[in-house]
Amino acid sequence: MDTSRLLRTTGTVIAAAGLLLSGCTPGGPGEPVAAASSPPESATASGRPSPDAAALRPYYEQKLTWRDCGVPGFQCSTMKAPLDYANPGSGQDVDIAVSRRTATGPGKRLGSLVVNPGGPGGSGIGYLQAYAGIGYPAAVRAQYDMVSFDPRGVERSSPVECLSGPAMDKYTQVDQTPDDPAERAELVAAFKEFAAACQKNSGRVLPHVSTVDAARDMDLLRALLGDKKLNYVGASYGTFLGATYADLFPDRVGRLVLDGAMDPTRPALELNRDQTEGFNTAFTAFAKDCAKQPDCPLGKGDPDAVEARLKEFFRKVDAQPVPSGDPDRPLGEALATTGVIAALYDESAWPQLREALTSAMNGDGSSLLSLADSYYEREADGKYANLMFANAAVNCIDQPAAFSGPEAVDTALPSFEKASPVFGAGLAWAALNCTYWPVKATGQARALTAKGAAPIVVVGTTRDPATPYKWAKALAGQLESGTLLTYDGDGHTAYGRGSACIDTAINRYLLEGKAPQDGKKC
- CA separation for the pair 430, 417 (Å, rounded): 13
One of 148, 236, 370, 420 is an active-site residue; which one?
Answer: 236
- Which among 177, 81, 161, 156 is positioned nearest to 392, based on CA atoms? 161
- CA separation for the pair 426, 405 (Å, rounded): 15
- Which among 139, 8, 146 is positioned nearest to 71, based on CA atoms? 146
95 is catalytic: no
One of 46, 259, 492, 503 is an active-site residue; which one?
Answer: 492
CB of 307 within 8 A of CB of 422? yes
A 10 A CB-CB count for 427 gives 28
CB of 482 within 8 A of CB of 459? no
38 is catalytic: no
Between 181-202 and 165-173, two packed helices, what is the crossing angle to 10 degrees? 150
- Which among 69, 75, 80, 213 is positioned nearest to 146, based on CA atoms? 75
One of 145, 464, 490, 503 is an active-site residue; which one?
Answer: 464
A 10 A CB-CB count for 357 gives 25
- CA separation for the pair 21, 114 (Å, rounded): 15
346 is catalytic: no
- CA separation for the pair 286, 118 (Å, rounded): 23
Residues 6+ apart with CB under 8 A from 260: 7, 9, 15, 118, 235, 236, 239, 459, 460, 461, 464, 466, 467, 472, 492, 493, 494
CA distances from 457 to 9, 136, 243, 469, 482 (A): 18, 18, 11, 14, 6
Which active-site residues does the annotation give? 236, 464, 492
